[in-house]
Structure 1
Amino acid sequence: MQLSDPVREGRDALAARVAGRLDRRLSKADPAPVALALSGGGDSLALLLTAAAWARAHGRPLLALTVDHRLQAESAGWSRFASEAARAAGADWRGLAWDGPKPARGLTAAARAARHRLIADAAREAGARVVLTGHTPTTSTSPRPTGCATGARPWGGCATGRRRPPGPRVAA
């Protein structure tokens, strides 16, 4: 008698759901890289692994982008972890930094705006037309990439009910 593994079944079902959305919304023949915002958290790691499998299957390059906000002493370690995870998954990786002075008030909003700008600029520079992001409701206001995939434009998060961007998007 074979016992079911609910964790594996849930993981496989989620991976199939995300891959199906990528299949429906992204061109398999487009040579442009697919960019992915990678914080190093569980949500973006799950998306990284699923997107990397999809990209390999369709011959699309995958570029993972990580933003170091320079707000915590351990942020360099998070970036290093994200780099290693991206490369282990077969993705190219680029580290981005929010340098310069930080505001005394409104730091979360300023960090989010800087993150979106840095990711969108790096995606455009790489020739990507889409940025994939993943988050859970609890990370929607954290200093990690949030929102929905867009045509490499910095927009608010889709899953949290904020404004939705025009044009292509992928939400997991």
Structure 2
Amino acid sequence: MTDFTIECIQGDIAHQPDMDAVVNAANARLMPGGGVAGAIHAAAGPGLAEECRAKAPVKPGEAVITGAHDMPNAHIIHCLGPVYGVDEPSDRLLADCYRNALRLADQAGLTSVAFPAISAGAFGYPLEDALAVAVRTLREAAPKYPRVNKVRFVLFSEGDRRVCQAVLDRM
């Protein structure tokens, strides 16, 4: 396998200009909302919602790719994570998000992808558990998608970044 790195930073997922794609923790309709989806749609401008209309709805675990519109990235990958305790099996559906995002990035020839902690916000997935699923899945899937060699988790708070780093260090 080529070099594959995963890093964790504290920051704004909508402002990662050095990454080929950012991942939107989307809702089923792929429309603006709160949290990550609201930040990404605000940064990308109204053209993103227009492009997303034709690709919705999506089911938990699914991912779709769009242009980045007014953002500096090449693409936005939209993933619908599971609602913890509702969409089951939540670990498999969450893993599907990361696998599908990596597959879409590889197919588009992208080398770097920035992820939020999918499902760990309003969808209620415990952060440490969500990140453990994510890291395990990305490491297992990376050899199948060799174009992608850098993944960045962008966490909203420094405390969340520390949890991410602890998961990476442990795994």
Alignment TM class, shorter chain as reference: 0.3 to 0.5
Q: Which has the higher contact order (CA 8 A, sep 6+)?
A: 2
1 or 2, which has the higher strand percentage? 2
TM-score, L = length of structure 2: 0.38
Give 1 or 2 for the bigger CA radius of gyration: 1
